[in-house]
Amino acid sequence: MDTSRAHVVLDDADIGRAIRRIAHEIVERARGSEDLVLLGVPTRGVPLAERIAGAIASTEGTAVPVGSLDITLYRDDLRLRPARALEYTSIPPEGIDGKTVILVDDVLFSGRTVRAALDALNDLGRPAAVRLAVLIDRGHRELPIRPDFVGKNLPTAIAEEVRVEVAEIDGVDRVTILSAPDDAGNGR
Amino acid sequence: MKHLLSAGDLTRDDAVLILDTAAELATVTDRSVKKLPTLRGRTVVNLFFEDSTRTRISFEVAAKRLSADVINFAAKGSSVSKGESLKDTALTLEAIGADAVIIRHGASGAPHRLANAGWIGGSVINAGDGTHEHPTQALLDAYTLRRHLRGGRGDLAGVRVTIVGDVLHSRVARSNVLLLRTLGAHVTVVAPPTLLPLGIQTWPCDVSYDIDSALPDADAVMMLRVQGERMRAAYFPSANEYSRAYGLNSDRLHAMRPDSIVLHPGPMNRGMEISADVADSGRSVIVEQVANGVSVRMAVLYLLLGGNMKGQG
């Protein structure tokens, strides 16, 4: 990573606090933790979902089912790139029918991933409600989609890159903004 | 990868990617909605010049589960029976906008001709050509072996597979030897000398005439169908004698390791290359092979058609 244009916006303590707050808000909104299912969107949404479930378990004392939902086959840009490898999907054995599904992703940007996830859920069953939890909302939506639970709102320029790292995958908990390279950003 | 013509064209990483993708796609079969939108708007043609039940149905189900439109083109009842050439058939398919052509043909090399003659722009998938290759059968066999012997992950390094029977007429054997070798397995081919092809010594496998010496070490045995319809001469004295010398019966199954498995690409000649009690035993994964075939063919269709295709207009 080119550190000269990287700017750390959340460190591990910030991320921990954000996850605990999201966990509280999910339980508050659902008035308990019954009938909740957390589904992380691979790759980094999955460990985030597991941590939210851990935070709910430590305050509520109940285990919330956690799964992962790969949305690759539902993407709207499949034909723009070569076919990509699939990620792991695992739906908890309880299923999602009649449950409140919390989709968990690291960054909310265009909203297209969430659109694909809603289509995927539609083929898997009929949840009572679907809500969206994201660690970072960086704006620039291209679809009428909004998050229910947000770790941090992060206003960004479209050319900037937001990088979320989680300890389970990257060895460190950190959110970084990478500014656009000067030549690509026309000097702005 | 644009076409799938030979199992020998696949690298280890290509093959593992196909098997991993198939493992994910297999979960669709367990869902209430057995359908993915991935190939919506794509047209897949099943171009079958030879009879086939499971391969054609398997490709058809796989394409439909990915939401592709499927056209079944059997040579019987088509213009081919009026003498139309492969080229003119191909031009017709191109004109109707086929994105992929799955071809089975009695002539070895027909899929290669179709892919490389410039007649069509789409992908070509070899579903069996003459006595040459049947790469998706090898992939589903590798998938089945990996699931049972390697926990469904990685490659087949160190797995010992014995392939028995009519290797001479078998496209399944050739594709399997190439692919299993690529995946790191050790393959032994067993057949009477009359049912081994010329040049077998150049294949990346061991060759034996004696089934009983090749079974005790094997993690899996793959029985090949005796292809009576391709036999123009006497390759063995009688069915009884073949069955005694090269058939898999319960005595031979007992001589194998207790955790080894039995495969057969189908259709079986029960009582010939495999006895009915072995075919129906708990060690037989023959029915599961059919189910795995759908997942593997979904993976091939997705990887060939799911993204953008380089070199296509």
A128 near A21, Cβ under 8 Å? Answer: no
Read off the pLDDT of residues B302-313 as tens digits, 9 standing for 90 and up.
999 998 755 333
Nearest to A74 among B32, B37, B302 (CB): B37
What residues 12-41 of chain B have any CB closer than 8 A to a CB of chain A?
17, 20-21, 24-25, 27, 31-33, 35-38
Residues of chain B with Cβ-Cβ distance to A88 below 8 Å are 24
B261 near B148, Cβ under 8 Å? Answer: yes
Nearest Cα to Cα of residue B166 among B264, B249, B58, B289: B264
Strands A161-165 and A174-178, by their bridges, are antiparallel
Provide the ipTM.
Answer: 0.84
Residue A166 corresponds to which tokens in the numbers above?
Answer: 């989680």
Find the residue in A nearest to B66 (Cα).
A73
Does residue B63 surpass a pLDDT of 70?
yes
Nearest Cα to Cα of residue B231 among B162, B272, B170: B170
Nearest Cα to Cα of residue B162 among B85, B104, B217, B95: B217
pLDDT at B312: 39
State which amino acid sits at residue A101. Answer: V
Alpha helical stretches, state H, chain B:
12-25, 54-65, 86-95, 110-116, 135-149, 171-182, 211-214, 239-246, 250-255, 276-279, 286-305
pLDDT at A128: 97
Q: Please state the domain extents for chain A.
A: 13-76+88-158
User: Domains (ranges, CATH) in chain B?
Assistant: 7-133+291-305 (3.40.50.1370), 135-289 (3.40.50.1370)
Place of tokens 């059968």: B137
Q: Does A83 contact B33 at a Cβ distance shorter than 8 Å?
A: no
pTM, two decimal places: 0.91
pLDDT at A3: 60
Encode burial over B263-274: b for 16+ CB neighbours within 10 A, e otherwise: bbbbebbeebbb
Nearest Cα to Cα of residue B298 among B22, B20, B24: B22
A89 near A117, Cβ under 8 Å? Answer: no
Average pLDDT of span B193-221: 96
Residues of chain B with Cβ-Cβ distance to A124 below 8 Å are 31-33
Residue A31 corresponds to which tokens in the numbers above?
Answer: 């008035």
Among the listed ranges A96-105, A137-146, B67-76, B120-129, which one has the minimum average pLDDT value?
Answer: B67-76
CB neighbour list of residue B240: distance below 8 Å, 6 or more residues apart: none
Nearest to B306 among A78, A89, A123 (CB): A78
Q: Does B308 touch chain A (CB under 8 A)?
A: yes
Encode burial over B209-227: b for 16+ CB neighbours within 10 A, e otherwise: eebeebbeebbbbbbbbbb
For chain B, percent of residues with pLDDT exceeding 70: 98
What residues 45-74 of chain A have any CB closer than 8 A to a CB of chain B?
70, 73-74
CATH of segment(s) A13-76+88-158: 3.40.50.2020
Does residue B79 surpass a pLDDT of 90?
no
More confident residue, B228 or A126: A126
Does residue B169 sit in helix, strand or coil?
coil
Residues of chain A with Cβ-Cβ distance to B2 below 8 Å are none
pLDDT at A188: 38
Nearest to B303 among A80, A83, A125 (CB): A83
Confidence of residue B73 (pLDDT cuts 50, 70, 90): confident
Does residue A185 surpass a pLDDT of 50?
no
Mean pLDDT, chain B, rounded, equals 93
